[in-house]
Amino acid sequence: MLIRAHALLHQTKRQKDSDGRVIAEIADYAVVRHLVADLVAEGAEATVKPEIREVVKAVTDLIAAGRGEVMQSELRPAVRLDKSAVSRRVAAAIDAGVLRNREDRKGRPAAARSRRPLPDDFEVLPDRSGCAVARLLQG
């Protein structure tokens, strides 16, 4: 639907079929892919946001330096962010399942531990070389 919408937005520059319908081009796919690839990958849990990666790396580094668990206040200097930004990122990492909160009291800052290694990012949507229509057109 997004590709159709993009083609319609640019219909003055697109070909039409015999019934007058706008024909989408590979350029329409490329623009939409650029806009939604990260969202689709996050939804499919194929990628982890860079800001979450940064917090998880900081936790992992501090634990490797000898800490049993890392308090949010200890993360602030490591990631150079304010208290609320660190809190949001730690919460997002806990929700994503890559950090574990060892603090069980409500309303207290998280005491973070690594839960599992971060997955490698991979592309969910194929690029132009993986598009069957593009290969046919190049043909």
pLDDT at 38 over 60: yes
Q: What is the tens place of the pLDDT at every residue in 45-84?
A: 545 677 888 888 888 888 888 877 888 888 888 889 998 9
Phi, psi of 67, rounded to the nearest 5 degrees: -85, 145
pLDDT at 18 over 90: yes
Domain limits, CATH 1.10.10, in the chain: 50-114
CB atoms within 10 A of CB 59: 28
pLDDT at 27 over 80: yes
> What's the CATH number for 50-114?
1.10.10
What does pTM read for this prediction? 0.51
Q: Residue 20 is inside which H or E element, if any? A: none
Give the closest residue to 35 by CA, choosing from 125, 133, 132: 125
Q: What whole-number percentage of the chain has pLDDT above 70? A: 67
Most confident of 12-21, 32-41, 59-68, 87-96: 12-21
Indicate the range of 23-32, 36-45, 104-113, 118-127 predicted with least confidence: 118-127
